[in-house]
Amino acid sequence: MISVDYTFVLKDVIGENGLEKIDIGKYENDVSKAIDTIIEDHEKGKLSFLNLPSDFSPVQEIESFVRDMPFSYENIIIVGIGGSSLGIQAIYQALLPYYNNIFGKPKVFFLENVDPETIYEFFENIEIEKSIAVVITKSGSTAETMSQFMILKDVFDKKFKEKASERIIVITDPEKGDLLKIAKKEGFKTFAIPQNVGGRFSVLTPVGLLPAELAGIPSRKILEGAESVLNKIKNKDIFKNPAALVAVILLEYFKRGRNIYVMFPYSSKLYLLADWFRQLWAESLGKRYDKSGKEIKWGQTPVKALGAVDQHSQVQLYMEGPDDKIFGFLEVKNKRKDMKIPEILEEYSSTSYLRGHKISALIDSEKKGTELALAKNGKPSFTYTFEKISPESIGEFFIMMEMQTAIAGEILNLDTYNQPGVELGKKLTYAFLGREGFDLSAVRDILTKVKK
Amino acid sequence: MISVDYTFVLKDVIGENGLEKIDIGKYENDVSKAIDTIIEDHEKGKLSFLNLPSDFSPVQEIESFVRDMPFSYENIIIVGIGGSSLGIQAIYQALLPYYNNIFGKPKVFFLENVDPETIYEFFENIEIEKSIAVVITKSGSTAETMSQFMILKDVFDKKFKEKASERIIVITDPEKGDLLKIAKKEGFKTFAIPQNVGGRFSVLTPVGLLPAELAGIPSRKILEGAESVLNKIKNKDIFKNPAALVAVILLEYFKRGRNIYVMFPYSSKLYLLADWFRQLWAESLGKRYDKSGKEIKWGQTPVKALGAVDQHSQVQLYMEGPDDKIFGFLEVKNKRKDMKIPEILEEYSSTSYLRGHKISALIDSEKKGTELALAKNGKPSFTYTFEKISPESIGEFFIMMEMQTAIAGEILNLDTYNQPGVELGKKLTYAFLGREGFDLSAVRDILTKVKK
């Protein structure tokens, strides 16, 4: 349901900044080896993300859990951050009406950032008695999530008394972590994030699927969409595998000085997919060392832009600025809803040409216009075309991006699945909060200089 | 009310990637000349953005208009895009409760993107009879705005009949453009965007001030905040002028290969200020040619990140990836609201250290932890500290960023106020929509190659 068109990266079309097919084709061995490694790691059980779309048992559990819920609810509160939030936000934006269904029910809310002002305002206003909460952290110990969970638990306990435990659902590691222990003690229903699936690769686990189902989105179809494309993204022919193709295009352009990858959906509904992807690409591939210990400081910065909005903000820079970007558009072929611009105001030149057009014609024309103008300026771009926004196509996109990232990581010979760079900041935060066993010794040198 | 701390760009503190004071001080003449030119252009009337904070007559008009409105309203619909939307979104996010006051009244909505699905869903659900609309376009002809205005006008005409014109307010050029003509004919109330104030510099005109006042935010205070800092941002001593200081830091780091500027608010309320700034910096300074016609392809890509959320998405890349970024944090000293983490769950190590802390302590610790960890890795950053989020501090930030951008543009010797790079895309869009006088001849060469 999603196709990739790379016409506007080709040298024949955009000139000297373009690629020849051989520039892509030369990665054939790299891609082949990468795919072998990824599949092998899955068969060995070292990795699991690619196995998720073929296993419908979590979906069955989710479906029956939601079907059998003993009460109704009007608010879903998601407590989570990063990989425990971004995928859910993307699913809701794409598949619920308007923004987070604010005109309808159930409404969905996120306790994500530890922003004191918004958290206060949330608890001041939310109708707790109509709410359920889903608390998500793979480690079971994320500071932002645990602190908000503690506030929420306290509020739920006071409101629901002994019934509070029915209203809190936990998604975490199946075997370890404090949140799992708490859940067992309190009697919260728990769902598992399988071993060997990292947070940023977890959207096709209950992390994404349970919130979807709770909001009335058929989680099974998200998984079916992902499953439908499995063979395609394992294909070793780069030109027949969109995950490999885009991985190679992005790697090649990074080598050529394009350290910024702009993901540019021409659809408000797909904007947060770019935000979800931003974590996946940045955290997986932004690495100081490769697997052999060599310093590489690799990292292509993913930037999200929104069409047509950012034509009025970023396109001036994209057109005329440095040759440091590669653009990936997302477009939607068949819109689920559309509106016609009414046949009024015929006497003005800036309205008469719009009359009678559909809004879809306007946004489609803007995308084509921007793409061609960039091409004319020698700026490379490619396009993902969604046949339609649906649970299936969103699922397909998730697994395609995950495979693309995994392939890129193998070709770069780095550890795609760790995040050693965030440890120091976390430890310092703990130290500032007085957590036992943590101190500021790692930055004592800097602190001394600052105080001078 | 806003101070800048540049400790963590200093070589003494962060090592070889840092700057010495002389690296900043050497811009003394450049800055002095730039400020002279900007002030002179204002005195001559060539530019106006810096004059806005001293002129309270638009605010008076806005105050009495809002005070005397003959009906009440529960929904404010803003129709505008780019500079006619981003500043308003930033004001609302900072100064209305929760997100766009969705728990209260008036609620605020944006018709910005020409996304057919969200526009359909909006009109399907919005209670028109409780709504007013503000239609904003400097040129009076922006395609996205005019098309949505046409739909809205049609809907309002049907609902309110001859009273519709009371419900639509127009902000546009005071002398020209189709929207002005339509407003006069229909009897809409109009407010002016002064001559010589471009869209992205217009937030301190009625563009930002009227929507603020309509939502109950005292627009006068926004302007007062901006006025309070005028002398400071005209100071020729770089180290006493935060606008000049940051301009110089960013220019110097761009020269040193840092083509990405991450604006990193540690506050959900200030996140959209980064989005507003993104247009200002990108569109003003992303230029192919300087004023002498020399090709420069300048452009530092502004990226918005949100603390603490993006610690779980981007910080891995920021810590370990290429040395291609300079970071500007925004932090808030005194929170308007706060919450205490309850003293529960003492028996778990991942909750016991959080007990009794305020949420503000957590986010402040995370900011300090991230800043120090970046510094330890030799990554430069500076911080804007807001004493408090208020109409005054938001106004101050707006004018400070505008002056910073103007100074940078003068030092780079480019035209800060035009956007020639967006013209081609616009013309092609018109051509695709069949607008008279527009065709695809500019990209015929590319289209021929694509068809092959």
pLDDT tens for B195-248 read 899 999 999 999 999 999 999 999 999 999 999 999 999 999 999 999 999 999
pLDDT tens digits for range B282-319: 999 999 999 999 999 999 999 999 999 999 999 999 99
The minimal CB distance from A359 to the residues B119, B287, B323 is found for B119
Place of tokens 């019934």: A163
User: Can you tell me the ipTM of this complex?
Assistant: 0.98
At A248-262, the pLDDT tens digits run 999 999 999 999 999
Mean pLDDT, residues B105-132: 98
Band (pLDDT 50/70/90 cuts) for residue A278 is very high
Q: Which fold has domain A52-221?
A: Rossmann fold (3.40.50)
Query: Does B286 contact A321 at a Cβ distance shorter than 8 Å?
Result: yes
d(CA B136, CA B199): 10
Residues 6+ apart with CB under 8 A from B308: A81, A113, A114, A144, B266, B362, B363, B366, B367, B370
How do residues A422-447 score in pLDDT, each as one tens digit?
999 999 999 999 999 999 999 999 99
What average pLDDT does the structure give for chain B? 97
Contacts of B322 in chain A (CB under 8 A): 259, 297-299
Closest partner CB to A449 (pick from B12, B317, B335): B12
CATH 3.40.50.10490 is held by the domain A2-38+229-411: yes
Looking at CA atoms only, how far is residue B147 from chain A in angstroms?
Answer: 6
Residues on chain A touching B434 (C-beta within 8 angstroms): 353
Catalytic residue among B283, B392, B396, B410: B283
Which segments of chain A belong to CATH 3.40.50.10490? 2-38+229-411, 52-221
* pLDDT band at residue A451 under the 50/70/90 scheme: confident
Residue A19 has a pLDDT of: 98
Q: Which of A14, A93, A103, A113 to mutate to test the interface with B (most CBs of B within 10 A)?
A: A113
* pLDDT confidence of residue A424: 97
Residue of chain A whose alpha carbon sits nearest to that of B333 = A116
Name residue, tokens 């404090």: A178
Q: Which residues of A touch B158 (CB under 8 A)?
A: none
Chain A CA closest to residue B122: A98
pTM: 0.98
Catalytic site includes residue B388: no
Which of B86, B126, B372, B436 has the most A C-beta neighbours within 10 Å, making it the best mutation to test the interface with A? Answer: B372
Q: How confident is the model at residue A324 (pLDDT cuts 50, 70, 90)?
A: very high
Q: Kindly determine whether residue A349 and residue B419, on different chains, have CB atoms separated by under 8 Å.
A: no
B2-38+229-412 adopts what CATH topology? Answer: Rossmann fold (3.40.50)
Q: Residue A452: pLDDT band by 50, 70, 90 thresholds?
A: low
Cβ contact, residue pair A119, B339, below 8 Å: yes
- Return the percentage of chain B with pLDDT > 90, whole number: 99
Yes or no, beta carbons of B115 and A363 under 8 Å apart: yes
Contacts of B372 in chain A (CB under 8 A): 425, 428, 443, 446-447
Task: Out of A112, A227, A283, A392, pick the active-site residue.
Answer: A283
Calculate mean pLDDT across residues B78-93: 98
- What topology does CATH give the domain B52-219? Rossmann fold (3.40.50)
Q: Which residues of B touch A81 (CB under 8 A)?
A: 308-309, 312
Ranges of CATH 3.40.50.10490 domains, chain B: 2-38+229-412, 52-219
- The CA distance from A75 to the nearest CA of chain B, in Å, is 13
Closest partner CB to B366 (pick from A86, A335, A429): A429
| Category of A140 on φ-ψ map: left (φ > 0), alpha (ψ -120 to 50) or beta | left
Q: Give how far B64 is from chain A: nearest CA, Å.
A: 30
**How much is the pLDDT for B451?**
79
Known catalytic residue: A312?
yes
Residues in chain B closer than 8 A to A415 (CB atoms): none
Q: How far is A64 from chain B (nearest CA, A)?
A: 30
What is the C-alpha to C-alpha distance for residues B381 and B18, in angstroms, rounded to an integer? Answer: 9
Q: Please indicate whether, in this complex, the C-beta atoms of B314 and A366 are within 8 angstroms of each other.
A: no
